Amino acid sequence: MANDEIFEKHYPQFSLKKNGGDSYAIHATNNKNSVIGNIITINTPKKPNIIKVPKDTIGSNTYMKNFVRHLIDRYHEFLKKEINAVNGKMDYFFIYNAIKKEIGFKWDETPYERFKDLCEYIQKRIDNTRLGRTHKRSGIKNYSTYEEYMIGKQKKNLIRAFGNSTIFCWYIKITLKNGV
């Protein structure tokens, strides 16, 4: 009697299939919640967690999204200095909840039409920090406008693409100054 026949005689609830070589697959029927085998490997493919942002929102425009993120980071930077002076804990998520309450959307799901409102709200928050008020009294800018931010990005991209030569930098200054 072969091993396969002995196995089937003693364990009728299992069906044995030869996979090739010394490998067997055992299929159990009517055995709920049971695990069979010496080495069990369970591979579950991980699905990437990709959140699709709705069209016509700040999250779908890279420049707008990065500018708002820049403003939020600037707010955190100003607030952190204020809180460190008081020796308190920093709540980084507070601004995100405040934005949702004030604007009515998550910051990255805000429609294009509300972009200006969102930026003004965050800029107002920056101006109302202790450091923001101090800078304002001293005539120091607390943040850049969206236009200034975009010009800075274009300048960085051009320098990255063509190098940092004096002649090219002179050309960039003239080009950006004339708005071409």
Residue 165: per-residue pLDDT:
61
> Which residues are paired to 20 by β-bridges?
23
For the cut 70, the answer to whether the pLDDT of residue 135 exceeds it is yes
Question: How does strand 23-28 pair with strand 14-20?
Answer: antiparallel
Higher pLDDT, 34 or 81: 81
pLDDT at 120 over 90: yes
Give the phi and the psi of residue 39 in degrees, each rounded to 5.
-120, 120
pTM over 0.85: no
Q: Is the pLDDT of residue 97 over 80?
A: yes
Residue 19 backbone dihedrals phi, psi, to 5 degrees: -90, -15
More confident residue, 166 or 114: 114
Arithmetic mean of pLDDT over the chain? 79
Hey, which of 3-7, 30-34, 93-97 has the most confident mean pLDDT? 93-97
pLDDT of 27 higher than 60: no
The closest of 16, 12, 7, 10 to 31, measured between CA atoms, is 12
CA angle 110, 112, 114 (to 5 degrees): 65
pLDDT for the residue numbered 82: 80
- Examine the pLDDT at 13 and tell me if it is beyond 90: no
Cα distance between residue 106 and residue 65, in whole Å:
12
CA atoms within 13 A on the CB side of 176: 19
